[in-house]
Amino acid sequence: MITIRNKLATTILLTVYFSFSPNSFAVVEGVIGNVPLQKNLNVASQLPTTNAPEIIISRKQFVISYNKVNRAPNWASWELDPSKMGNADRTNGFSQDAELEEYLEKQGGNYHAVTSTEYRGTCFDRGHQVPSADRTDSTKDNEATFAMSNMIPQTPFLNRVLWEDLERYTRDLVTLKKKKAYIIAGPIYDQNFGAIGPNRDIPVPSKNFKIIFLLEPTQTAKDINNDTPVMAVIFPNTLPNGKPAPLNDSAECSDISSSNADWNQYRSTVKEVERLTGLNII
């Protein structure tokens, strides 16, 4: 059983099983958001599963598995087609996820949603998992991507060079090649890169993954199968020289130059992402 609490703290019980391995089950702590999960087009017929703590955030713009311990997503998933890209400006309104904070407060314990200033004074950008530019059809949809529940600590080199280049490439596939994309992204913690925030309770991922399934315009994420074309990429969350970034802000943090800054060199496989994260993707 999974207990889901809405804003009125009404308890609803659903019977849902998420298989993680033949001998274990991942349990979703709760579901919040304005779209029923079973009707959300931003998720495939099977959720990625994890043995990490997770609260599912199901909204029109995305689905996020939020880890209240790491204070960051386990994964984020979203669908991208030309209708999601329009003329809305980047709102740049980083903000605490108010609905998530309300949920955490009701559950008790010392868990809080990240505020917009908790990355301040560090070497790390507030790194979107669901990109702002993938939701420019309306100001409201763009604003949703700036919730801090959609962020992980990314070095400027990762965020502004490698990650951004892959984002552009994906949007080009959708607009120029007339494809639809279903995308899953999230952090990897296979090395200890320390933690940031006033209480040093936001672990810094060592890597960031992205998996992109390419669909035909009439397909949805629920049509994904073993024959669906897919790309997987694993980026190091480091400085251009490959070294971990210092936790506090310094001159070397702003260096985003690199003669080898080609995202293609970081192509990987879904199986490798699953191995490093413990996720069962599809």
Q: Which helix (DSSP H) or strand (DSSP E) does residue 272 occupy?
A: helix 270-277
CA distance 146 to 28: 24
The residues pairing with 210 across neighbouring beta strands, listed in sequence order, are: 185, 233
Query: Hey, which bits of the chain come out as E strands?
Result: 2-5, 11-14, 18-21, 24-26, 30-32, 55-59, 62-67, 72-80, 125-128, 151-154, 180-188, 195-196, 202-203, 207-215, 230-236, 267-268
Q: Which helix (DSSP H) or strand (DSSP E) does residue 90 occupy?
A: none
Specify whether the CB–CB gap between 29 and 57 falls below 8 A. no
Q: What tokens were used for 92?
A: 């740049």
* Options 68, 128, 135, 180, the catalytic residue: 128
Task: Let me know if 112 is a catalytic residue.
Answer: no
Residues 6+ apart with CB under 8 A from 185: 75, 76, 77, 129, 130, 208, 209, 210, 211
Cα–Cα distances in angstroms (integers) from residue 132 to residues 83, 105, 123, 137, 182, in the given order: 14, 28, 21, 10, 16
**Residues labelled as active-site residues:** 128
